[in-house]
Amino acid sequence: MFTRRKKALSAGGVAALTLAALLTAATGNPAQADDLVTHHEFQVNCTVHHRATNDPIVFPNMPGASHEHSFVGNTTTNAATTLDSLTAAGAYSTTCLNPDDLSAYWWPTMFRGDQPIIQTWAQTIYYKSGILRYQDVRPFPPGIRFVVGSPAATQEQFRTSPGAVEGWECGDSSHNWDFPANCPAGTQLNVRYQAPSCWDGVHLDSADHKSHMAYPVNYVCPADHPVAVPMLEFKIAFPADGDESQIHLASGRGYSWHYDFFNAWDPQTLAALVSHCINGGLQCNSRGFDLYKPDRGQVLGDNYRLPGRP
């Protein structure tokens, strides 16, 4: 498991740990709040399909209005993308292992000078619990969309964001809030960033593409955003070893890192994965199988689909 950035506990944080201890007594799970929160998950693994200067959330129906993004998931994603267009693409119209994940995911393309750095392998997106009561996490509603991070963020804003986990890392270097000066030969330049996981229960989007979502407070959803949904954590890797002085994102420096999500999962498939893996307290792969608890079974077939689907 990766090492998480530690923060000083407030009085509320102590209360959260007390709650964790109570849950431990009831469930036999480890007592650490981070364990209770982050170890209930499933993975989504998707390859980059195309790059384009589009952003259908921030600049809908405005092709070319954005800096360049790298798109994974639904193969039809463009500036005019809607929930209807994503779902109309049909099963298998995705670069994700799960044929019924027709969602669109994107982030700013990385460049070395003026040359894009091409990602040729599957990237990992975790769907986790962001709250102590992982049994309360519910699937994303169809069509929900949001932006995580900001291309206009300062280095300090990136460093202190509740979504930043380790910043940029390569080799033994981590907790970098901008690109490190150099990455050892053969290593990848990685970034992790957590999304808010509390929804207001009403709006699928908002004017700033963020306000309908909120981060948990001491591992509990706030009253104005009461619905716990999966906490996305993008773990994105770039083949960018060596001298990093010419590395930049299409959006700017490393602290301008951000990503977008537009949900178009098949509702039954997403519900099955959330129920079995997140609510069930498992660490699942893309098939909904926990290698460490094989007796709990596998929610999807070997074709990454619900049983009975070809």
| pLDDT level of residue 3 (50, 70, 90 thresholds) | very low
Tokens 């990093």, located at residue:
244
pLDDT greater than 90 at residue 11: no
Say if CB 257 and CB 113 are below 8 A apart: no
The overall pTM is greater than 0.85 = yes
* C-alpha span between 300 and 286 (Å, rounded): 8
| DSSP three-state, residue 306 | coil
Q: Give the residues across from 169 on adjacent strands.
A: 190
pLDDT greater than 70 at residue 90: yes
- pLDDT 10s digits, 56-78: 999 999 999 999 999 999 999 99
Say if CB 189 and CB 168 are below 8 A apart: yes
DSSP state of 103: -
- Classify burial at 11, counting beta carbons within 10 Å of its beta carbon; exposed 0-12, middle 13-18, buried 19 or more: exposed
pLDDT greater than 70 at residue 268: yes
Q: What is the largest CA-CA distance in the chain?
A: 56
pLDDT given at position 39: 76
| pLDDT level of residue 36 (50, 70, 90 thresholds) | low
| pLDDT level of residue 163 (50, 70, 90 thresholds) | confident
pLDDT greater than 70 at residue 150: yes
| DSSP three-state, residue 51 | strand
pLDDT greater than 60 at residue 22: no
Give, rounded to a whole angstrom, the gap between the first and last alpha carbons of the chain.
34
Name the amino acid, one letter, at 31: A
| DSSP three-state, residue 22 | helix
| Average pLDDT, integer, range 115-142 | 97
Name the residue among 305, 271, 264 with its Cα closest to residue 77: 264
pLDDT given at position 165: 78
Bridging pattern class, strands 41-46 and 283-284: parallel
| DSSP three-state, residue 268 | helix
Say if CB 306 and CB 273 are below 8 A apart: no
